[in-house]
Amino acid sequence: MINKEEIESLLTAEDFSKFAWIDPKNIVVAHWVRMKCTFGCPDYGSGTCPPNTPSVDDCSKFFKEYSSGLIISLTKFADKNKYPSDWSKEMNEKLLKIEREVFIKGFHKTFLLNQAGCFKCKECSNNRANCIDKVNSRPSLESFAVDVYQTVRNAGFEINVLKDSPAEMNKIAILLIE
């Protein structure tokens, strides 16, 4: 049985204050997201992005194997043309730490979908098989075909497309727990 308060305390200890429990079966997976990854994302082909990720159908099936999860919302005022990669790397490290602590508590299926692509290495091998940090690299929600906007709105959070820059960015991670 999940002790939600105990897990929530792990989040607040890392300064994550905006989160919501969700049923992962309600995560919206869509083929259009994969198409936007394939045609329009500069990270396409990196080690934790398509084509190095499961098919859209396999991603949808994957979420159905979980009964609990957390949407974690992060905000950062930034220029979208100068992505704050140092901040993102720091957030990824904190999220991985939480994933590890939840795993140690006995939730062996715990899995993190990170708020951004992997920033573990300066130079990505662009091939999952040749990744030099397979233990800590995690995919983003988009690389698993998650319609982030609809999923987040369904959980009661506000999220919008950035129209101006600099502006406050909303970044989303999902921690699956079973």
Structural Rg of the chain based on CA atoms? 15
54-71: pLDDT as tens digits = 999 999 999 999 999 999
Q: Residue 50 has what pLDDT?
A: 92
User: Which range of residues forms the domain containing residue 75?
Assistant: 4-177
Predicted TM-score of the model (pTM): 0.93
CB 73 within 8 A of CB 15: no
User: In total, how many domains does the chain have?
Assistant: 1
- Residue numbers in the chain where pLDDT is lower than 50: none
Q: Residue 119 has what pLDDT?
A: 66
CB 120 within 8 A of CB 136: yes
